[in-house]
Amino acid sequence: MTDARSEVPGVPLGALPDRQALLELATSEIAAAWESFDLPRPRESVIDDMLATRLTEPLPEEPGDPQEAMRDATTVLDASTSPARPLYLAYIGSTGLATGTLGAALAATYDVNMATHAAAADFLDGQALRWTAEFIGYPHADGAFTSGGQISNLTALVAARERALPGAREHGLAGRPGAVYCSREAHQSILRAAEIAGLGSASVRRLPIGADRRLVPDAVAEAIAADRAAGITPIAVIANGGTTLTGTVDPIADVADVCEGEDVWLHVDGAYGLPAATTPSGAPLFRGVERADSVSLDAHKWLGVPKACSVVLVRDVSSLDIAFGHRESYMLHSDGSHNPVDRTLEYSRPFRSLKLWLAFRIHGAAAFRTWIERTIGHARLFARLADEAPDLELLVRPQLSTVCFRHVDDRISDIDTHNVRLARMIQDDGRVFLAPADLDGRACLRVCFVNFRTTADEVAFAVDVVRELGAHAAAG
């Protein structure tokens, strides 16, 4: 009998020539990357002509040199924008926590599928959920690791929809309109979740914010009352646990009062900010989070592990199974127990929790709280330096670790155009990476401090670079 494996031309799929050499090369490249992340670069790396040519070649039919392919892969990564570097301040992203990387590598190697019973991995997954809930001070009863804030928020909204409109997963809304309430600065994922859940983006009430940019609880109560009078069922209120634009945390306890009085589901979208809930600076902002029906948190943001690793937690143990549980002949339920897929809309799911579990296990929760508190301090330092600089204008006093500001100069007639142009100049310069944003119709610059590597000296350096290039742009 002929072994079919011997008939495969080139490099067999189940093996690699010089596997040990490739593992050593991968280890060397990863170690070099970690070392490079510790200090800012003079500028971002670029793709050279030789690599650009290779990246336009057609699909190879014949086997190639494994080490050359590995080196090209690391060259591409090194020439890509990485949020792991200390002066990457543009967006709220992961920061290349080494322990998380090791967890990701181990999980990818074993390729456990968390859709069905996965033996010991199920127990670790449950422990990681408990640890996450304990870390933020949330009394969870159930939860799931997902691919990101979009899926976590959608999961919570579907559970809320099923409670408010029972049977919607089977029959649809069936002429029963529903409404979702949030501030006008809620993340776009809330609109998308409402669309996917069949409620429609028109069901989302983008409500007023106060001078502190926080959701106004009275506006929530008024909108709920108006919808009930119109025959519209309130589905959920979404409170921000750190907006993407300014890092603002809504008054969760006051919103919880409204939701409990109206019997409406409260979800806290804490994808960015929720890890700050048990820090000295963050705890007062998150008062009342334990009263939410559900919360979401992206561990691949302020907890630093590689993407994707998001968490959704709920207080009612039955809510996720009611929204997502099912019975199929190809996935049996032993002794009436649930499969992991019964609490999430995803089927094939990687072992995402291992990254966060390993990070908590090795570093301990206190180290994370110290890091988060330090980055909040970086935002305050940046704000103070902006206040002291005659050519910088602070637009919002930071609550967490995000700062919105502008460069101003008497020689500039159009401040908005100037700041958008300045953002591109700063990115091209490469010493600091930040991004422009729009705040109440005004173009501004925005920095986000979430990296455990960033130092106070680098915060001051970032301010100096902005002022240097801003002066150059104004003179030019």
Residues 407 and 445: beta-carbon distance below 8 Å: yes
Residues of the chain predicted below pLDDT 70: 1-17, 44, 328-338
- State the pLDDT at residue 345: 83
Backbone angles phi, psi at 417, to 5 degrees: -60, -40
Domain 366-475 top-level CATH class: alpha beta
Start-end of CATH 3.40.640.10 domains in the chain = 111-352
264: left (phi over 0), alpha (psi -120 to 50) or beta: beta
Per DSSP, what are the bridge partners of residue 123?
none
- State the pLDDT at residue 291: 98
Start-end of CATH 3.90.1150.170 domains in the chain = 366-475
Rounded Cα distance, 112 and 353, in Å: 11
Task: Please state whether the peptide bond connecting residue 308 to the residue before it is cis, i.e. omega within 30 degrees of 0.
Answer: yes
Backbone angles phi, psi at 64, to 5 degrees: -115, 180
User: Which pTM value belongs to this model?
Assistant: 0.92
Residues 262 and 208: beta-carbon distance below 8 Å: no
- State the pLDDT at residue 96: 86
Q: What does the pLDDT look like over 119-131, one tens digit per residue?
A: 899 999 999 999 9
Burial class (CB in 10 A: 0-12, 13-18, 19+), 318: middle
Q: Which of 303, 309, 294 is nearest to 153 (CA)?
A: 294
Rounded Cα distance, 354 and 102, in Å: 9
- State the pLDDT at residue 115: 83
CATH classification number, 111-352, choose in 3.60.15.10, 3.40.50.1100, 3.40.220.10, 3.40.640.10: 3.40.640.10
Q: What does the pLDDT look like over 194-247, one tens digit per residue?
A: 999 999 999 999 999 999 999 999 999 999 999 999 999 999 999 999 999 999
Amino acid letter, 9: P
